[in-house]
A and B are shown apart, each in its own frame.
Chain A
Amino acid sequence: MRYLHPLEGETGGSADLLGAKACGLLTLRRLGLPVPPGFVVDTRACRAFLRDGHLPDRFDAELATAVRHLEAATGRRFGGRELPLAVSVRSGAAVSMPGMMNTVLNLGLTTDATAGLAAETGDPAFAREARQRFLAGFAAAAGGAADDDAMSHLRATVRAVMSSWNTPRAVTYRELHGIPHDLGTAVVVQTMVFGNRDRRSGSGVAFSRDPNTGERGPYGDVLFGRQGEDVVSGESATEPLTELTHRAPAVWDDLGAALRRIEQHYSDAGHVEFTFEAGHLWLLQVRPGGLTGRAAIRVAVDLADERVIDRRTAVRRVTQRHLRHAGTPRLRAGEGVQVLARGRGAGPGVATGRIAVTAERAARMASDGPVILVRPTTSPLDMHGLAAAAGILTSRGGPTSHAAVVARAMNKPAVVGAATLTIDALARSVRIGARTLTEGTVISLDGGSGEIVLGDPGTVTATTDEHVDRLLSWADEISGDHSPRPAPQRLDDAHAHL
């Protein structure tokens, strides 16, 4: 085969050819970690498609062959009534462009296959939900199903994913990030694993170390009974990864072992997207790094202590940007600090204030001291409340929502998408799980890490960070200069000697 490559350990190729996602999946395969079987359509096919307006002549025949191999490998039939095979179809360029291109899940769930899945699982509601998700995804990506043929859906979806390389939003993203427009995307086709299969199923994101602090993990979020897209969208209330320890202990153990293996391979922290179906773990994506500055420094120091890397490598990995970030104040953690919830950091900085649940109340209460405006989402009608508040907290929306943009425009610390919060404007209260916080209760939020805590625990900065101190002492050993100088200078001097 020329344009298609199986996701098997022996498949080789650069990220330029196969895309970063597929290269990560191949690495996982080579490490012996569980990856759903599948294949990748390389970027040459995409470039030919974008250049000529159609795929090369032999492409569809190759696609059919690849599907037959996948059927043989899984013992399932694509679109079939008996043991149906369903696949996910995802973009995967050499450089990550999160959320910019199309994804279709559960492809292959024709009417027959859905009946087959219902019979196989004994769960018609699950099968119906899976088919609905396919139909919605397919309609959004390829404009809807004209027929009930799985192969025709797959051919259309591969083309739609390739076309989505050139949506205006994707073009804008590449312009902003300096990504060349002629790279094209690979397309990853994998056997579906269903995080929404039953109560022993779910999806999540797991880091080998806490991406905000660098503390040894595993750390992350999990959604029980749901597919991975629900985790990434930020619209659902995820639970801390540690929930797995009692609700799916085997998955927790396997995930921990996988993350250790991944760290060993990259000699660095890493994170994965995962799904577990009926208690069985599958990895869907892997990336090394991805830590904030402070966490990156701690991980570099810890990895040197663990003798995974040497001290010179640790110093080399830390950048001025990491050092600057480590200097920003953050919420004090530890004993006596009650974490209420976690959302996504959308406007950097720490804010403490009394809860106000409407813009009007925030504007009124602000004359008596700082308030935190807590809203489901924000509209222009909340602008005066946003202006009055010291910090902003929403239960919905992501880091590029209107609320996040306005918070940053006003230089306010903000946390968005804290999905465990329910705001009751009439009762003037906020519910988080079993706890009810009435208006006026003092809370603090960290717009970097996304943490929301009760009361005012105070802040800490890098001047009190032992890991930064140790890293800089190693930097001095490398440069041979032990005179007192500013931290950025000490790091620069060491880098000049490396």
Chain B
Amino acid sequence: MTDSTRPAVLHVLRCIGVAELPRVADAAGLATSQAESDLIDLAVSGLVTRTAGEFGGWGLTEAGRAEDARATAGEVAAAGARRAIATAYEKFLVLNPELLDLCSAWHVRAANGTMVPNDHSDSGYDARVRDRFVDLDRRAGAVCAELSAALPRFRRYRARLTAALDRARSGRLEYLTDSVDSYHTVWFQLHEDLLATLGIPRQ
């Protein structure tokens, strides 16, 4: 059997939720034509489905979710990667509250003991938040490297996080927390992937 990209596409949907083709392809690191072909095959097998409408897109079916859980457990066992991923996940959990602090600081500021929306009129403050994102990203790099060493598919997160941060640094500030490919969105998906890969229910 050839190295199919179908399990990777299935797992991407498990981690990013309902999404249109370009986002699925980007998250999987595949050409859109390849991702589309895989999605159609998966749909024929009853593992994914496409819903129409403004908030629709490709998503897992219950069978797809079960198949992904089975395949992911097999993948982790075959690679003997469980312990390494669990160790990296613990390090991720140290960084996670700090990342959430940063995202919150981008949205709201403390003033006289209460929170007010950050209206982005204070460029010094915004620069401090951005600098801390960069600093956190440097430390996240070590966690991403450990995960990639354990299971190569985690490499895609490093690339996507870097892409989001680079865009934010070039002035497209919605790539910190607000866009569908923002740093927070990718981080949130990495968090979901770690839970799915280790078989931990979300708290």
A287, A325, A383, A399: the one contacting B104 at CB < 8 Å is: A399
C-alpha gap A306/B64 in the complex (Å)? 66
Within 8 Å CB of A331, what residues of B?
none
Within 8 Å CB of A319, what residues of B?
112
As a 0/1 sequence over residues 360 to 372 of chain A, the CB contacts with chain B under 8 angstroms (1 = contact) are 0011101100000
Within 8 Å CB of A172, what residues of B?
98, 101-102, 132, 135-136
| B111 engages A363 (CB within 8 Å) | no
C-alpha gap A187/B111 in the complex (Å)? 25
C-alpha gap A383/B98 in the complex (Å)? 22
Q: Is A483 an interface residue (CB 8 A)?
A: no
C-alpha gap A364/B59 in the complex (Å)? 14
Within 8 Å CB of B131, what residues of A?
175
A169, A175, A325: the one contacting B128 at CB < 8 Å is: A175
Q: Is A161 an interface residue (CB 8 A)?
A: no
Residue of B nearest to A367 (CB): B53
| B100 engages A400 (CB within 8 Å) | yes
| B136 engages A406 (CB within 8 Å) | no
Assuming the contacts A176-B105, A321-B112, A409-B178, asked whether A168 and B139 have C-beta atoms less than 8 A apart, the reply is yes
Assuming the contacts A172-B132, A380-B192, asked whether A363 and B55 have C-beta atoms less than 8 A apart, the reply is yes
Interface-located stretch among B13-21, B32-40, B70-78, B142-150: B13-21
C-alpha gap A404/B110 in the complex (Å)? 16
Q: Is B2 an interface residue (CB 8 A)?
A: no
| A402 engages B101 (CB within 8 Å) | no
Within 8 Å CB of B56, what residues of A?
363, 384
Assuming the contacts A319-B112, A377-B202, asked whether A382 and B104 have C-beta atoms less than 8 A apart, the reply is no
A168, A177, A405: the one contacting B103 at CB < 8 Å is: A405
Residue of A nearest to B125 (CB): A176
Chain A interface, DSSP helix/strand/loop, else mixed: helix
Within 8 Å CB of A377, what residues of B?
202-203
Assuming the contacts A366-B54, A366-B55, A380-B16, asked whether A400 and B97 have C-beta atoms less than 8 A apart, the reply is yes
C-alpha gap A211/B133 in the complex (Å)? 32
- How many chain A residues touch the partner (CB < 8 A)? 46
B110, B184, B192: the one contacting A405 at CB < 8 Å is: B184
Q: Is A155 an interface residue (CB 8 A)?
A: no
Interface residues on B, range: 35 or more
Q: Is A379 an interface residue (CB 8 A)?
A: yes
| B18 engages A175 (CB within 8 Å) | no
Within 8 Å CB of A25, what residues of B?
none
A173, A321, A367, A382: the one contacting B101 at CB < 8 Å is: A173
| B104 engages A321 (CB within 8 Å) | no
B192 CB → nearest A CB, Å: 5
Within 8 Å CB of B136, what residues of A?
168, 172
Q: Is A348 an interface residue (CB 8 A)?
A: yes
Within 8 Å CB of A348, what residues of B?
117
As a 0/1 sequence over residues 403 to 446 of chain A, the CB contacts with chain B under 8 angstroms (1 = contact) are 01110111000000000000000000000000000000000000
Q: Is B107 an interface residue (CB 8 A)?
A: yes
Q: Is A75 an interface residue (CB 8 A)?
A: no
| B97 engages A384 (CB within 8 Å) | no
A272 CB → nearest B CB, Å: 14
| A321 engages B116 (CB within 8 Å) | yes
Q: Is B4 an interface residue (CB 8 A)?
A: no
C-alpha gap A359/B26 in the complex (Å)? 23
A324, A387, A402: the one contacting B100 at CB < 8 Å is: A402
C-alpha gap A379/B192 in the complex (Å)? 7
Q: Is B114 an interface residue (CB 8 A)?
A: yes
| B17 engages A289 (CB within 8 Å) | no
| A379 engages B17 (CB within 8 Å) | yes
20 A-B contacts, Cβ less than 8 Å apart?
Answer: A168-B135, A169-B98, A172-B102, A287-B113, A292-B114, A363-B55, A366-B55, A377-B202, A377-B203, A379-B17, A380-B15, A381-B17, A383-B18, A384-B55, A387-B55, A388-B54, A400-B101, A405-B100, A409-B177, A409-B184
Identify the B interface with A (CB < 8 A).
Answer: 14-18, 51, 53-57, 59, 94-95, 97-98, 100-105, 107-108, 110-117, 125, 128-129, 131-132, 135-136, 139, 177-178, 180, 182, 184-185, 188-189, 191-192, 202-203
Extra pairs beyond A321-B112, A383-B180, A409-B177 (16, CB < 8 Å): A168-B135, A169-B101, A172-B136, A296-B112, A364-B53, A377-B202, A380-B16, A380-B17, A384-B57, A385-B55, A388-B54, A405-B103, A405-B184, A408-B104, A409-B107, A409-B178
Identify the A interface with B (CB < 8 A).
Answer: 168-169, 172-173, 175-177, 287, 289-293, 296, 319, 321, 324-325, 348, 359, 362-364, 366-367, 377, 379-385, 387-388, 396, 399-402, 404-406, 408-410
